[in-house]
C-alpha cells in the first residue's frame, strides 16, 4: 500500500473514533442483561468537567495548617478550641464528644520523661504503613513534644525495609505470621503476639540494627538509649542473648540466660547508640525488639499488607494480653478499611464488615484494657468508572459507617478521607507536583505519608493542648460549653 493510502486509512479510523466519541451515549449501549458496551463519550467528558471540580490539594493542606496555627496563636480561647474540636474536618472525633477521653494518656505523657518511662503507642495498619510511613512522622512529632527517641518496636526478621532503621539477621530462624507471605509459617497455637508475628530460633543466630541513611528517616529515630527484647524460651537448651555495641574502641557484651516461658530483657546505655548486634544461642522465640529512649513516648509500627483489620481475634488472647502488659502500650491505633473496599457491594457487606470490627474492638479491650483505641479511616481511593478515574463507589458510605460504628463502640475516629479533601481528592493527590500518591491511586508516596502523619499528629496534639488548657480553667465553664453542643450534635 502506498504511503498516501496508509495515511488516509489511519485518518479515517481516527475520524470514526472521533465521531463515536461525540455521539456515543454516556450511559453506554445495553446489549444484554448485565452487559453494557461502553465507549469514551464527549457528553460524559463535558459532564465530568462541570460536576467534578478538582480538589485543590495545596489549599486543603494549607487550610488545615492555618487552622492549627490559629489555635496555637490563640490557645487561651475556649471558643477556638470549641470550634476546632467540634467542627473541624481534621479533628479526632471522640465518643460522645467526651473531651476527657485521652486524659489518662495525657497524664502519662506529661510525666514520662521525668519518670524515665516510655509511653508506647501501637500503630497497626495495612500497606499504607509499610516502610514505617505515617507512623514515623507521628512518632517524631510526639517525641519532639514529650521526649523519647528510637524507632520503637521492630521484629527480628522484617520482610519490608523500613526508612527508620536497617535490620539484618542470620542463622537457623523461622518466621511465623498471622498475615503471612510465601516465606512465613502459620502457628497452629496462634501465639503470634503483639506484632502479629514472631521468629523462632532453633540453633542460635545473629541479629543487628543500625541507623538508616534514608533522607526520610526522622532524626530522633536514629538514636537509641534502651534495648528490650520480648522473648520466650523453648526446649531444653537455654536461650542466651548477648548484646554487643561499640563504645569507642572497646566492645561491651551483656548476656541474659534462660528466664522462663515469656519474659522481657532490657539493656540501658548512658549515651545514645546508633547500632548494635546480638548473638543468640540455644532455642527460643523473639516477639519483638524495642529500640527506645530512656523515657518519653514512642510509636510502634506494624504494617499488615492486604489486611482489613479483622485478623486480631485469630491471635491467642492470653499471649497477646501477657505481651501487652510487658510492653506497656497505652494507646492502640487501627488504620484499616481500604482493603475492605473490593468486597463492598452494598450496605449488607458494609454491615458485615462493621460487625467484624466490633469483635476486634472487644478483643483489644480484653487483651489491653488500659489502652485507648483510635481508628483511622481509609484514604480516598480511585478506580476507573465509565472511563474516568473516580472515588470507589460506596467508599463514602463505608467511611460514614466506620465513624458511627467506632463512636458507638467507644472508639475515637480520625477521617483520612475528609482530611484529604473528600470525594475525588485522590486523583488530585496523584497529580500533585510532587506526587502525594502513587499511580495506583491507592497508596501515598513518602511525601504524601508525611502530610497525613503531620495532620494526624496535629489533631492529636490539639486534644493535648486542650487538656493543658483545662488544667487552668473552670471545668464547669468548659462542661457548659460542650454540653450545649452534645444536645444539638448529630454524630451521623
> Do 397 and 376 fall into the same domain?
yes
**Would residue 424 count as lying in a domain?**
yes
Which three cell numbers, joined as nine digits, stand for 373? Answer: 483505641
Report residue 239's pLDDT band, with 50, 70 and 90 as the boundaries: confident
In this structure, what are the phi and psi dihedrals at residue 148, rounded to the nearest 5 degrees? 110, 165
> Do 166 and 142 fall into the same domain?
no
pLDDT at 464 over 90: yes
**Would residue 362 count as lying in a domain?**
yes
Per the structure, the complete domain to which residue 289 belongs is given by 151-293
Question: Domain ends where: 258, 278, 293?
Answer: 293
- Are the CB atoms for 299 and 86 separated by under 8 Å? no
> Do 325 and 363 fall into the same domain?
yes
Q: Alpha helix locations (H) across 24-154?
A: 42-51, 57-73, 78-87, 103-115, 135-146
Question: Domain ends where: 293, 327, 350?
Answer: 293
Whole-number Cα distances in Å, 337 to 128, 304, 357, 382, 415: 11, 12, 10, 14, 11
Radius of gyration of the chain (CA): 26
Give the burial class of 444: count Cβ atoms within 10 A of its Cβ; 0-12 exposed, 13-18 middle, 19 or more buried: buried
**Would residue 396 count as lying in a domain?**
yes
Q: Name the 3-class secondary structure at 352.
A: helix
> Do 142 and 196 fall into the same domain?
no
Separate counts of helices (H) and strands (E) for the chain: 13, 18
Question: Domain ends where: 263, 293, 323?
Answer: 293
CATH number of the domain within which 443 lies: 3.40.50.1110
Q: Which residue has the higher pLDDT, 249 or 459?
A: 459
Cα angle value 74/77/83 (rounded, 5°): 95
> Do 162 and 108 fall into the same domain?
no
> Do 164 and 135 fall into the same domain?
no
Intra-chain end-to-end CA distance of the chain, in Å: 67
> Do 308 and 287 fall into the same domain?
no
Whole-number Cα distances in Å, 277 to 40, 167, 170, 207, 358: 59, 10, 11, 6, 41
> Do 394 and 455 fall into the same domain?
yes
Residues in the chain: 492
Q: Name the 3-class secondary structure at 180.
A: coil
Q: What percent of the chain has pLDDT over 90?
A: 63
**Would residue 313 count as lying in a domain?**
yes
Cα of 103 vs its chain's centroid, Å: 22
Q: How many CA atoms lie within 13 A of 362 on its CB side?
A: 9
Segment 247-275 mean pLDDT: 71
**Would residue 49 count as lying in a domain?**
no
**Would residue 134 count as lying in a domain?**
yes
pLDDT per position as a tens digit, 323-353: 999 999 999 999 999 999 999 999 999 999 9
Number of domains in the chain: 3
> Do 127 and 86 fall into the same domain?
yes
What is this structure's pTM?
A: 0.87
CATH number of the domain within which 157 lies: 2.60.120.1360
Cα angle value 164/167/170 (rounded, 5°): 175
> Do 39 and 76 fall into the same domain?
no
pLDDT per position as a tens digit, 131-184: 999 999 999 999 999 999 999 999 999 989 999 999 999 999 999 999 978 889
> Do 302 and 240 fall into the same domain?
no
- Are the CB atoms for 166 and 330 separated by under 8 Å? no
**Would residue 50 count as lying in a domain?**
no
Strand partners, 201: 173, 284
Task: Tell me what the pLDDT averaged over the chain comes to.
Answer: 86
> Do 192 and 99 fall into the same domain?
no
Report residue 491's pLDDT band, with 50, 70 and 90 as the boundaries: very low
Amino acid at each position: 500500500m502506498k504511503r498516501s493510502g496508509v495515511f488516509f486509512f489511519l485518518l479515517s479510523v481516527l475520524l470514526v473514533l472521533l465521531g463515536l466519541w461525540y455521539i456515543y451515549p454516556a450511559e453506554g449501549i445495553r446489549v444484554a442483561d448485565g452487559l453494557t458496551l461502553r465507549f469514551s463519550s464527549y457528553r460524559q467528558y463535558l459532564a465530568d468537567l462541570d460536576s467534578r471540580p478538582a480538589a485543590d490539594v495545596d489549599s486543603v493542606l494549607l487550610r488545615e495548617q492555618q487552622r492549627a496555627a490559629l489555635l496555637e496563636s490563640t490557645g487561651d480561647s475556649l471558643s477556638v478550641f470549641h470550634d476546632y474540636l467540634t467542627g473541624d474536618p481534621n479533628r479526632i472525633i471522640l465518643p460522645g464528644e467526651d473531651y476527657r477521653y485521652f486524659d489518662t494518656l495525657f497524664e502519662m505523657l506529661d510525666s514520662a520523661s521525668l519518670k524515665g518511662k516510655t509511653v508506647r503507642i501501637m500503630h497497626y495498619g495495612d500497606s499504607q504503613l509499610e516502610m514505617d510511613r505515617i507512623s514515623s512522622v507521628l512518632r517524631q512529632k510526639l517525641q519532639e513534644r514529650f521526649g523519647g527517641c528510637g524507632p520503637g518496636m521492630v521484629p527480628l526478621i522484617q520482610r519490608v525495609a523500613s526508612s527508620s532503621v536497617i535490620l539484618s539477621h542470620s542463622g537457623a530462624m523461622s518466621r511465623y505470621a498471622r498475615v503471612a507471605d510465601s516465606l512465613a509459617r502459620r502457628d497452629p497455637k496462634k501465639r503470634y503476639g503483639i506484632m502479629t508475628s514472631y521468629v523462632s530460633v532453633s540453633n542460635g543466630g545473629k541479629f543487628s540494627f543500625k541507623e538508616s541513611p534514608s533522607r526520610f528517616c526522622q532524626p530522633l529515630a536514629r538514636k537509641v538509649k534502651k534495648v528490650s527484647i520480648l522473648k520466650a524460651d523453648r526446649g531444653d537448651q537455654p536461650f542466651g542473648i548477648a548484646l554487643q555495641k561499640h563504645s569507642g574502641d572497646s566492645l561491651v557484651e551483656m548476656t541474659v540466660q534462660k528466664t522462663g516461658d515469656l519474659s522481657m530483657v532490657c539493656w540501658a546505655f548512658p549515651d545514645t547508640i546508633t547500632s548494635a548486634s546480638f548473638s543468640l544461642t540455644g532455642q527460643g522465640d523473639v516477639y519483638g525488639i524495642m529500640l527506645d529512649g530512656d523515657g518519653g513516648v514512642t510509636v510502634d509500627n506494624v504494617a499488615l499488607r492486604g489486611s482489613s483489620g479483622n485478623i486480631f481475634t485469630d491471635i491467642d488472647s492470653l499471649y497477646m494480653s501477657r505481651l501487652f502488659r510487658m510492653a506497656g502500650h497505652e494507646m492502640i491505633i487501627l488504620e484499616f478499611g481500604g482493603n475492605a473496599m473490593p468486597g463492598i457491594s452494598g450496605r449488607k457487606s458494609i454491615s458485615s464488615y462493621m460487625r467484624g470490627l466490633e469483635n476486634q474492638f472487644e478483643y483489644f479491650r480484653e487483651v489491653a484494657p488500659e489502652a485507648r483505641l483510635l481508628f483511622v479511616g481509609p484514604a480516598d481511593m480511585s478506580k476507573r468508572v465509565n472511563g474516568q478515574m473516580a472515588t470507589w463507589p460506596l467508599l463514602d458510605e463505608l467511611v460514614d459507617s466506620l465513624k458511627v460504628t467506632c463512636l458507638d463502640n467507644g472508639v475515637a475516629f480520625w477521617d483520612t478521607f475528609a482530611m484529604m479533601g473528600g470525594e475525588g481528592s485522590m486523583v488530585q493527590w496523584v497529580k500533585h507536583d510532587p506526587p502525594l500518591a502513587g499511580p495506583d491511586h491507592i497508596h501515598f508516596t513518602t511525601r504524601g505519608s508525611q502530610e497525613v502523619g503531620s495532620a494526624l499528629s496535629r489533631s492529636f496534639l490539639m486534644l493535648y493542648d486542650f487538656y493543658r488548657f483545662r488544667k487552668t480553667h473552670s471545668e464547669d465553664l468548659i462542661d457548659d460549653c460542650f454540653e450545649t453542643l452534645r444536645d444539638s450534635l448529630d454524630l451521623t
